[in-house]
């Protein structure tokens, strides 16, 4: 509950989102967070992995809540997903393509090299997936179809973020928004 610990986690989230895990140094976290320098290993005795794990958990649940909240703003699931992805496009652009997909880089870096962080990322993505799934179920999709579509939606969004960040343009994400909207519109008319 201490503010210093929380500051460390928060800035670790931001730095790892834009740079990845390996490029983010502990010194950088301490400096940028303004947290007391000597307290890093007091709050996180297990070092960098423990900090990253906390950052992943934090970014994961925060993002999951944001997905749920955004999807709740529109009844129509097609329009809700499309609007959500459009908002991401804007966010990625506004950040100078430094932000968006808070866990993607860490997830890729650690998928096969760090089981602890891999499991943390996995848990977070499952939360994202569940958020889409529940929206679809609430919109009348069968549980089975909702689960399948949630995976596909999440895939398209994550991939769109990659392309938008490397192209330095929100267009790929806007394309994903349009296609997912059309797909869900057609699927819900059955």
Cβ 74 to DNA shortest distance, Å: 42
* Residue in 6, 19, 20, 49 binding DNA, rule: CB under 7 A: 49
143 scored as a contact of a copy of itself (CB under 8 A): no
Cβ 130 to a copy of itself shortest distance, Å: 13
* Residue in 112, 144, 189, 190 binding a copy of itself, rule: CB under 8 A: 112
41 scored as a contact of DNA (CB under 7 A): yes
Cβ 27 to a copy of itself shortest distance, Å: 15
* Residue in 98, 140, 142, 143 binding a copy of itself, rule: CB under 8 A: 98
6 scored as a contact of DNA (CB under 7 A): no
Of 31-39, 60-68, 133-141, 149-157, the window that binds a copy of itself (rule: CB under 8 A) is 149-157
* Total site size for a copy of itself, rule CB under 8 A: 46
Q: Residues 6 or more apart from 51 whose CB is under 8 A from it?
A: 8, 9, 12, 26, 29, 40, 44
């Amino acid at each position: 509950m201490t503010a210093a610990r929380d500051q460390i986690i928060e800035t670790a989230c931001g730095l790892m989102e834009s740079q990845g895990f390996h490029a983010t140094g502990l010194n950088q976290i301490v400096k940028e967070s303004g947290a007391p320098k000597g307290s890093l290993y007091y709050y996180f005795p297990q070092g960098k992995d423990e900090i990253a794990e906390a950052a992943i958990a934090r970014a994961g649940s925060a993002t999951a809540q944001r997905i749920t909240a955004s999807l709740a703003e529109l009844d129509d699931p097609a329009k809700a997903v499309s609007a959500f992805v459009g908002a991401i496009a804007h966010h990625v652009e506004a950040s100078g393509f430094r932000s968006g997909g808070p866990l993607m880089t860490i997830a890729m870096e650690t998928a096969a090299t760090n089981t602890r962080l891999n499991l943390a990322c996995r848990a977070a993505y499952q939360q994202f997936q569940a958020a889409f799934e529940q929206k679809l179920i609430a919109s009348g999709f069968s549980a089975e179809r909702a689960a399948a579509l949630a995976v596909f939606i999440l895939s398209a969004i994550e991939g769109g973020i990659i392309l938008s960040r490397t192209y330095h343009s929100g267009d790929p994400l806007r394309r994903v928004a349009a296609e997912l909207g059309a797909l869900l519109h057609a699927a819900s008319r059955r």
